[in-house]
Structure 1
Amino acid sequence: MTTHAPTTRASKAAAPTAPAPTAPAPTRSRALALAVLCAGMLMIVLDGSIVTVALPAIQQDLGFTPAGLTWTVNAYLIAFAGLLLLAGRLGDLVGRRKVFVSGLVLFTAASLLCALATGPELLIAARFLQGVGGALASSVSLGMLVTLFPEPGERGRAIGAFSFVGAAGASIGQVLGGVLTEALDWHWIFLINLPLGLTAALLALRVLAPDRGPGLRAGADAPGAVLITAALMLGIHTVVGTAEHGWTSARTLGPGALALVLLAGFLVRQALTATPLLPLRMFRSRAVSTANAVQVLVIAGMFGFQVLVALYLQNVRGYGAAATGLAMLPAAVAIGAVSLLLSARLSARFGERAVLLAGLGTLVAALGLLTRLPADAGYVVDLLPTMLLVGGGGLVLSGLAALGMSGAGEADAGTASGLFNTTQQVGAALGVAVLSTLATSRGDALAAAGRPGAEALTGGFRLAFTVAAGLLALAFAVTALLPRPKK
């Protein structure tokens, strides 16, 4: 006589229903699918940086106040970072292709609204919608990639290409934003998304295989979704507001404490509910936990580096928007060469841990060079070596993506992808807020002490670069604690 054990709440959480398996796609089809995923990611990453160089023109044309202007960036970042985790889980439940295409369509439509904006309010609202669309599309991209390429060698090469797009897209966006703004006007930085977004969405419907999740009832944790979305949005809003209110003001400490309470409530909810939005069993993987923790440190240091170097070139050395983007371009080229040509081969031979440590060591050296940056720096002597050494980021980003997705199965690849993207955005927000605050306060102190303007500004940047190098050194130490892979 066969008996069936009763299904418990714990067993449901431990063994989620996987989406219907699909047959492996031919190599050519998978290459086209990878190209579509990379194109969607490129458009979203480009938009994150292309706007920054056009901010002065937008302010002058639409009449933004200095404080209001920052919301053209913050509105996008809050929506994007706040919804990544929820969007990734939705992909697992209702189908990742459906969520990806919906995100591309919404992002493209919001880009048109941005271009047509005639006042600050409409532009900020449209940027928020762009963030929602970007979260939907990017949250499931990495999850679709790892299911498309199950073989380790192919997966490594695919992650290398995907990481290159993510890293190099920001630098390309700065160049493109400067050129479009100076040659045409700022509206074109949004209009360029229309053909890109529509083409990517139509191709996605043709080359990405449809997938069906178990449905919302299998994991639609509405209370958990409200808690984590509110916690992330409030937390990011608090961090980006420190530039205006300071780190110790009531307007920072109060919302920050509330965000932590909401996050704690979310974690308690995930431990108790039968259908968690973020299954806590994912954190049992030491590799996954370490990859997400290290990514916060790495992105905080490197995104802060990118913003501060651009400010140094413009405010101290007098570079224009397009010249600043071109000056940053060697870093993108170096990252691309390492990501596409070396990362997969080195990982296959030496393992992700060793490759990740080598890349982190290179980044520490790159930022270490900037701790002695002079006010009258020459580009070739003082900045180009750093730009080339930043190519080590190609090893770091690919290695982190591989580790971060290593514990993801078919049932929760979207959730793991959303979590990985969320820690990336949290690191970016923290890095810019902390390093910019340090640079500003140190520069003001030096100026008050009688140092010339350029030297005072450079002194502030040097302190920020020192802290950024320290964050990367800490990431190196945390990664070194990972156990060596078995031979």
Structure 2
Amino acid sequence: MSSPARADTASTTRWIALGAITTAALMVVLDASVINIAVPRMQQELGLSDAARSWAITAYAVAFGGLLLLGGRIADYAGRKRVLLISLTGFAVASLIGGLATGPGTLIAARALQGVFAAALAPAALSLVAVTFTEPRERVRAFAIFAATQGSGGAIGLLLGGALTEAFGWRWSLFINIPIALVALAIGLPSITRSDSLVGGRHDVAGAVLATLGSAALVGAFSVASEPDGWTSSTPYALFLAAAVLIGAFVWRQRRTADPLLPGRVVADRTRGGAYLMAGFLAAGMFGMFLLLPYYLQEDLAYTPLATGVVIVPFSVALVAASLVVPRLLQRFSSRTVLIGGIAVATVAMAGLAVVITLPDALVGILVTTTVMGAGIGFVFTPLNSSVVADVPSDDVGVASAMFSVTQQIGGAVGVALLNGIYVVSAGAGGDVSSAALRLTFSAATVLYALAAVIAITVIPAPRKAVL
């Protein structure tokens, strides 16, 4: 076979592998939102309280976020392809357990188990994109596709969750992961190239325990505070203190252990650190919105689960379209300019959603503002993904990728607990004031987006050539 023919075959294989990698990554993101539309029916059947409903979401996010750094290091040492395929299988099994749940305890435990496997799967997927595509132009296109898949996963999950819940029941919002995992495995086994694994080293299990417990305490504090009288009790304050102590102990250990989960060199970079902070605030606002907007559409406007999912489709379409345009924009503008423009658009759109949600006929306003928001977020994700792995030594690709997912998942979990708490407290104070409570909640989400915009402007410096 001639050299050009071999090159063409290798290129085709790389893009097939990207299909498997993005499918696996989509499942992880999709599962963070696919049950959101199923929550009302899940509450009725399993007996979840209003204030506790967020745990069906945050149990997944806490386990996911707390163990991601360990998962990233395991991917670096055990081999990224191997970890991806094993994690896909485990995720499918956990989804089966959750779909068969007969009570809140089993459901929440299964969601946490999904998070455990997602914690290894997500960094393995992102690092595989980085090591599979090394040519700059191909890498930009690959990250654009990966970012579009990741960014649209939340909205796709809402649409899919609505269709499945209406047609087959809420349990299929979990069962659907099984065929998705099988497809990713079938494509990935022959196409994904084994990446080199590191030799030696030890896994910082104690650090992983501290990170997970600290994350759980932080999210738990916001969840407890979401009870109508939560802030008047001592429990949330005790949990905030516990979170501070545990996270502080994690940081102390990382500075002293010989094999840290999170080496200081990974977060010390200004561009990468800014990207992590941006991802956390952006996820906090977006995850909270995707919990409460579907709940409002079903409970207050009496939309069916499928109709609720359809309302979110323009967000997903706009996000994917914007993500795919980004490579061309990066040929004319710096990644920092695209970041700032995208987050500014998303912030204005969230502020608009806070206004239109109280109007008598809110549907048109919801469609317009969420579509514009999707486009803005689409402009953000590709530069963020690229910034995280730009100039990272191969030994640290997994942990750098994991830290990006950590900030998204923990930020999202805190956002869900915080915004759900604002809604519950506001709605409970004056009876039937759901739209007013949502206006306050989405105003808080606007503040979270605005903080991400401030970080983009003040922290992230001029782009490095490698990003472009």
> TM-score when scaled to structure 2?
0.90
**What's the counterpart of residue 333 of structure 1?**
317
Matched residue of 1:262: which SS?
helix
1:77-134 deviations in whole A, cap 9, x for unaligned?
Answer: 2222221111011111111112111110101111222233344433333222222122
**What's the counterpart of residue 20 of structure 1?**
none
- For the residues of structure 1 that align with 2:449 and 2:162, how far apart are their CA atoms? 30
1:267 aligns with 2:245: no
- For the residues of structure 2 that align with 1:247 and 1:370, how far apart are their CA atoms? 27
Q: Is the 2:271–2:387 contact (alpha carbons within 8 Å) kept by the matching residues of 1?
A: yes
Instruction: Tell me how far 1:31 sits from its aligned partner.
Output: 0.4
Which deviates more from structure 2 when the two are superposed, residues 95-104 or residues 59-68?
59-68
**What's the counterpart of residue 209 of structure 1?**
193
Q: Is the 1:111–1:130 contact (alpha carbons within 8 Å) kept by the matching residues of 2?
A: yes
- For the residues of structure 2 that align with 1:225 and 1:180, how far apart are their CA atoms? 35
**Aligned counterpart in structure 2 of residue 233 of structure 1, from 216, 222, 235:** 216
Counterparts in 2 of 1:309 and 1:418: CA distance versus 1, 3 Å: same
1:107 aligns with 2:91: yes
Map 1:336-415 onto structure 2 (within 5 A): 336-340=320-324, 342-373=325-356, 375-379=358-362, 381-390=364-373, 391-415=375-399
Matched residue of 2:355: which SS?
coil
- For the residues of structure 2 that align with 1:431 and 1:25, how far apart are their CA atoms? 45
Which deviates more from structure 2 when the two are superposed, residues 470-479 or residues 238-247?
238-247
**What's the counterpart of residue 157 of structure 2?**
173
1:27-69 deviations in whole A, cap 9, x for unaligned?
Answer: 1111011111111112222222221222333344445566665
1:309 aligns with 2:287: no
- For the residues of structure 2 that align with 1:375 and 1:240, how far apart are their CA atoms? 25
Map 1:261-300 onto structure 2 (within 5 A): 261-300=245-284
Instruction: Tell me how far 1:279 sits from its aligned partner.
Output: 0.6
> TM-score when scaled to structure 1?
0.87
Matched residue of 1:345: which SS?
helix
For structure 2, the residue ranges without an aligned partner over 5 or more in a row are 1-6
Map 1:83-102 onto structure 2 (within 5 A): 83-102=67-86
1:472 aligns with 2:439: no
**Alignment RMSD, CA only?**
2.5
Percent identity of paired positions between Structure 1 and Structure 2: 37
Q: Is the 2:89–2:181 contact (alpha carbons within 8 Å) kept by the matching residues of 1?
A: yes
1:421 aligns with 2:398: no
Instruction: Tell me how far 1:315 sits from its aligned partner.
Output: 3.4
Which deviates more from structure 2 when the two are superposed, residues 243-252 or residues 186-195?
243-252
1:253 aligns with 2:237: yes
Map 1:441-460 onto structure 2 (within 5 A): 441-445=425-429, 447=430, 453=432, 456-460=433-437
Counterparts in 2 of 1:444 and 1:175: CA distance versus 1, 3 Å: same
Which deviates more from structure 2 when the two are superposed, residues 153-162 or residues 372-381?
372-381
**What's the counterpart of residue 9 of structure 1?**
none
- For the residues of structure 2 that align with 1:125 and 1:268, how far apart are their CA atoms? 30
Counterparts in 2 of 1:204 and 1:374: CA distance versus 1, 3 Å: closer
Matched residue of 2:330: which SS?
helix
Counterparts in 2 of 1:310 and 1:56: CA distance versus 1, 3 Å: closer
- For the residues of structure 2 that align with 1:24 and 1:272, how far apart are their CA atoms? 48
Q: Is the 1:144–1:413 contact (alpha carbons within 8 Å) kept by the matching residues of 2?
A: no
**Aligned counterpart in structure 2 of residue 74 of structure 1, from 42, 46, 58:** 58
| Residue type of the alignment partner of 2:452 | A
| Residue type of the alignment partner of 2:209 | V
For structure 1, the residue ranges without an aligned partner over 5 or more in a row are 1-22
Matched residue of 1:427: which SS?
helix
**Aligned counterpart in structure 1 of residue 182 of structure 2, from 177, 181, 198:** 198
Counterparts in 2 of 1:59 and 1:225: CA distance versus 1, 3 Å: closer
Counterparts in 2 of 1:306 and 1:150: CA distance versus 1, 3 Å: same
**What's the counterpart of residue 39 of structure 2?**
55
Counterparts in 2 of 1:181 and 1:370: CA distance versus 1, 3 Å: closer
- For the residues of structure 2 that align with 1:74 and 1:370, how far apart are their CA atoms? 24
- For the residues of structure 2 that align with 1:356 and 1:205, how far apart are their CA atoms? 35
- For the residues of structure 2 that align with 1:82 and 1:160, how far apart are their CA atoms? 27
Which deviates more from structure 2 when the two are superposed, residues 92-101 or residues 296-305?
296-305
